[in-house]
Amino acid sequence: MLVECYDKKGAEVYEIIIKQIFQDLVLGSSVEDLKAYVNPDDPVFVLAIKMRKTSSVILFEDVANLMYNKQKDVTTILIDNENYLPNILKELWKRFSRDEIYQPNRYQLEISGDHTDLNTLVVDDPHSNLQRRIYDAIFRILPEGFKIIKDLSTEDIIAVVATDELIMDAWIEKAHEYIGELNKGM
């Protein structure tokens, strides 16, 4: 972790703030590296965070079995991994009303009609979930009042430039410099 600031004490304070927020949100093990630039004279905050690799997306077929009974015109869903039941229900409720989903027990769901196409539905996306949690951390870290934000994020690096004035090209260049360094592992 690098916090760049001409004021050494200010850099230390921001490092403590960042560590505390990451600890509160349990993000420490999910972040590979972080670079921040703070300059109170030019009200700017540049932050670039490299995420660790996450597991791949979890599809419906990975955690449940779907069977269509043509005679009854009902799709039965048997839950293999109960940990994903809340995610499965959330995704189903996006497509169907709660009344359309019958749950005779905690491992079985039934829906009228043929819905075997649900097999390829994404139930959980760890990469997206991690990104969301890191953005949450960033908005807690940014100084209050820095409402002008430019997002320069890439696939595995979340980078933002924040200020309360117009964003200068030099700050964007600083963010791109950090992105390049994080990509190289510097």
118 and 162 assigned to the same domain: no
Which is more confident, 114 or 7?
114
Would you tell me the crossing angle of helices 126-141 and 8-24 to the nearest 10 degrees?
A: 140
13 and 36 assigned to the same domain: yes
140 and 180 assigned to the same domain: yes
Q: What's the structural domain count of the chain?
A: 2
Q: Exposed, middle or buried: residue 28 (CB in 10 Å: 0-12, 13-18, 19+)?
A: exposed
137 and 112 assigned to the same domain: no
Q: Is the pLDDT of residue 185 over 80?
A: no
62 and 119 assigned to the same domain: yes
- Of 78, 74, 7, nearest to 41 by C-alpha is 7
Question: What is the C-alpha R_g of the chain?
Answer: 22
Read off φ and ψ for residue 167, nearest 5 degrees: -75, 125
Spatial strand order of the sheet with 157-163 comes to 2-4, 31-39, 44-51, 157-163, 148-151
42 and 63 assigned to the same domain: no
Task: Work out the percent of the chain whose per-residue pLDDT is above 90.
Answer: 81
74 and 161 assigned to the same domain: no
- Within 13 Å of residue 152, how many CA atoms lie on the same side as its CB? 22
Q: Is the pLDDT of residue 1 over 90?
A: no
86 and 170 assigned to the same domain: no
Question: Which domain covers residue 79, as residue numbers?
Answer: 58-124
63 and 154 assigned to the same domain: no
Which residue do the tokens 């995610």 mark? 87
pTM over 0.85: no
62 and 120 assigned to the same domain: yes
115 and 25 assigned to the same domain: no
pLDDT value, residue 186: 63
Average pLDDT over residues 98-106: 92
Of 90, 124, 158, which residue constitutes the final position of a domain? 124
**Widest pairwise Cα distance in the chain:** 74
Of 75, 102, 124, which residue constitutes the final position of a domain? 124
64 and 46 assigned to the same domain: no
